[in-house]
Amino acid sequence: MPRVICWMSDAVTVKSIQPIVIEVSEKTKWTFIRVETSDGLSGLGEASLSGQEGAMAEIAAKYGQHLVGMPMSVIEKIAVADWMDRAYSAVVSALEQASWDIRGKRAGAPIHGLLGGAKQDLIPLYANINRRTVERSPNGFVASARDALAAGHTRLKIAPFDDLQPDMGTEGDSLFAAGIDRIAATCDAAGPDVQVLVDCHWRLNVTRARDFLREAARLGLYWVECPLPEDPDDCADLISLRPLKDNLGIRMAGTEQGTRVAYFEKFIAAGVYDVIMPDVKYCGGIGTMLRLAEMAAEKGVGFSPHNPTGPLCHLASLHIAAVIPNLLVLEHQFDESPMFLELCDGAVPDMTDGTSGLPVGEGLGFALPT
């Protein structure tokens, strides 16, 4: 695993902390945190968390009051704390990303360069086409799949079980069936050479999860993500799926909501998932992501960063993906808004044939328009 470079001198202190909210659409906002230092540098991190923009602004203001004048190294200590609340975790993770951005700018190098250099120059991607699919019929999913395929993607992810809840009885049967229809139509449109991933968004119960694993095997899905509600202190139901998924040869992924190392440790120790999916916006930032990748590698668990939001999170995830040995594939939100590319003025690397190049700018390689 890459060696994490030591922090900057404690003579460098925090000058200011500022939240910045960008309204992308009626449903989507991206939240960034800017950190300025006493020696004139500034860095950005992403903290996007839908519906929590006000709470995150208050949290950032509190950190602004307490951290101004303190050494930048304090951010590292905050980032490794066991945060439970996702809004706090998002702000802390963004502060940590911003500190890496500053470190890279000071060194005149991209973050993957600070970590010993990229192990791979092209990062495999899957296109998350779910949120851009407004028309939720099978035909709507087919249209999105065809658009992503036309753009060169070879892996697609959808979340098809709209409105289904784990506690539903027979009234959920039609919603479950509708989800299967969406998946089948997407797989048919994608063809045998394209990998389809399905995110269940914790909407199944054990019985439906078992039924779905069988469907997943029949349809040849690449993975089944978050089939059941997650509780790191009670993995019994998820563990009960292991014999069936292993017999069927199904890969299972999860943990995108984790906000502390202990959360992931428990799932890795229980052997629940074949792939963990930390999000750099919530887990504590770049340093924690590297630690989690190492933990997963030691247990033979795949690593696939959760990455469905803004361009800064995408760039941070690319830097991480470039240096870890157990990367499976990286998520990319596909064609949800032209602002994804327009906001960062060429900073997002070109994506061709289902892969992305690496960021080349200093630090994270991102700057908001002035």
* Cα–Cα distances in angstroms (integers) from residue 138 to residues 20, 218, 220, 294, 341, in the given order: 37, 18, 18, 39, 28
Q: What is the pLDDT of residue 307?
A: 97
Backbone angles phi, psi at 284, to 5 degrees: 125, -5
Secondary structure class of 116 (helix, strand, coil)? coil
CA dihedral 179, 184, 185, 188 (to 10 degrees): 160
Residue 90 lies in a domain: yes
Q: Other CB atoms closer than 10 Å to residue 247's CB: what's the count?
A: 10
Residues 283 and 168 in one domain: yes
Name residue 144's amino acid.
S
Residues 305 and 196 in one domain: yes
More confident residue, 29 or 9: 29
Q: What is the pLDDT of residue 345?
A: 81
Residues 122 and 268 in one domain: yes
Task: Check pLDDT > 90 for residue 272.
Answer: yes
Residues 237 and 300 in one domain: yes
Residues 100 and 152 in one domain: no
* Domain CATH for 67: 3.30.390.10
Question: 79: pLDDT confidence band, cut at 50, 70 and 90?
Answer: confident
Residues 140 and 101 in one domain: no
Write out the two tokens for 70.
């303190």
**Are β-strands 302-303 and 275-276 bridged in parallel, bridged antiparallel, or unpaired?**
parallel
Residue 2 lies in a domain: no
State how many domains the chain has. Answer: 2
**Average pLDDT value for residue range 283-311:** 96
Q: What is the pLDDT of residue 9?
A: 62
Starting at the edge strand found earlier in the chain, the sheet holding 42-46 runs 14-23, 29-37, 42-46
As a whole number of angstroms, the distance between CA 151 and CA 147 comes to: 6
As a whole number of angstroms, the distance between CA 21 and CA 55 comes to: 12
Q: What is the pLDDT of residues 167-189, one digit of tens each?
A: 999 999 999 999 999 999 999 99
H helix runs in 68-204, sequence order = 73-79, 86-107, 111-114, 138-150, 173-190
Task: Check pLDDT > 50 for residue 3.
Answer: no
Question: 6: pLDDT confidence band, cut at 50, 70 and 90?
Answer: very low
**Average pLDDT value for residue range 13-31:** 94
Write out the two tokens for 228.
């059941």
Residue 255 lies in a domain: yes
Write out the two tokens for 219.
């349809």
Residue where a domain stops, chosen among 46, 78, 108: 108
Write out the two tokens for 207.
């019985």
More confident residue, 37 or 82: 37
- The domain of 242 spans 114-356
Residue 368 lies in a domain: no
* Domain CATH for 196: 3.20.20.120
Residues 94 and 162 in one domain: no
Mean pLDDT of the chain: 94
Of the listed ranges 2-16, 113-127, 254-268, 356-370, the least confidently predicted one is: 2-16
Q: What is the pLDDT of residue 83?
A: 67
Q: What is the pLDDT of residues 251-270, one digit of tens each?
A: 999 999 999 899 999 999 99
Residue where a domain stops, chosen among 73, 108, 143: 108
Residues 86 and 199 in one domain: no
Instruction: Identify which of 276, 332, 320, 342 has the alpha carbon closest to the alpha carbon of residue 154.
Output: 332
Residues 167 and 141 in one domain: yes
Across 320-353, b (16+ Cβ under 10 Å) vs e yields bbbbbebbbbbbbbbbbbebbeebbeebbbebee
Task: Check pLDDT > 90 for residue 108.
Answer: yes
Residue 8 lies in a domain: no
Q: What is the pLDDT of residue 66?
A: 92
Residue 369 lies in a domain: no
Residues 266 and 122 in one domain: yes
Residues 102 and 118 in one domain: no
Q: What is the pLDDT of residues 219-252, one digit of tens each?
A: 999 999 999 999 999 999 999 999 999 999 999 9
Q: What is the pLDDT of residues 310-348, one digit of tens each?
A: 999 999 999 999 999 899 999 999 999 999 999 988 899
DSSP 8-state symbol, 359:
-
